[in-house]
C-alpha cells in the first residue's frame, strides 16, 4: 500500500476552512447590500433580482456548510489514519483529498461568478 505524509493534507484542511469562513462572511456583506437594494426598489424587475440573489445566497450558505462538514470529516479520517500509520495516510485518503480540493475550487469559481453577477445587478439598482 502507498502512504503519504499526513501533515501536507492537514495544512490544506486549515486553508480550506479559512477560505470557507471568508466566503461565509462575504455572503453576510452581500446580503446586507441586497437588503439596501430591497429597501430602495419596488420595481418588479428589481424584486425578481432580489429574490434570485436571496435564493443564491441561501444555496451557497448550504454549500459552505456541506463543504465544511466534508473537510472536517476528512480531517478526522486523516488524523485517525495518521495515528495508525506513523504520521502517514493511505493513498485512498489522498484521492479523497484531491476530490475535496476540486470541490472547493469549483465552489470558489461559483462564488466568484455570483459576486460578478451580483455586482452587475447592484450597478443597475443602487
pLDDT on residue 99: 98
pLDDT on residue 86: 86
List phi, psi (to 5°) of 3.
-125, 155
Secondary structure letter of residue 86 according to DSSP: T
**Long-range pairs of 119-124 with CB within 8 A, sequence gap ≥ 24:** 121/37, 121/49, 121/53, 122/33, 122/37
How far is CA 51 from each of CA 32, 63, 108, 111, rounded to the nearest angstrom? 14, 18, 22, 17
Please write the tens of the pLDDT for every residue from 61-104: 999 999 999 999 999 999 998 888 888 888 889 999 999 999 99
**pTM of the predicted protein model:** 0.92
Please write the tens of the pLDDT for every residue from 75-84: 999 999 888 8
Amino acid at each position: 500500500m502507498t502512504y503519504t505524509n499526513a501533515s501536507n493534507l492537514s495544512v490544506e484542511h486549515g486553508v480550506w476552512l479559512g477560505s470557507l469562513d471568508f466566503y461565509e462572511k462575504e455572503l453576510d456583506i452581500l446580503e446586507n447590500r441586497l437588503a439596501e437594494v430591497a429597501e430602495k426598489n419596488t420595481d418588479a424587475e428589481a424584486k425578481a433580482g432580489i429574490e434570485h440573489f436571496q435564493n443564491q445566497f441561501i444555496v451557497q450558505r448550504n454549500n459552505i456548510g456541506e463543504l465544511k462538514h466534508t473537510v472536517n470529516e476528512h480531517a478526522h479520517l486523516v488524523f485517525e489514519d495518521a495515528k495508525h500509520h506513523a504520521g502517514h495516510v493511505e493513498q485512498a485518503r489522498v484521492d479523497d483529498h484531491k476530490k475535496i480540493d476540486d470541490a472547493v475550487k469549483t465552489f470558489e469559481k461559483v462564488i466568484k461568478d455570483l459576486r460578478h453577477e451580483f455586482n452587475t445587478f447592484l450597478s443597475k439598482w443602487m
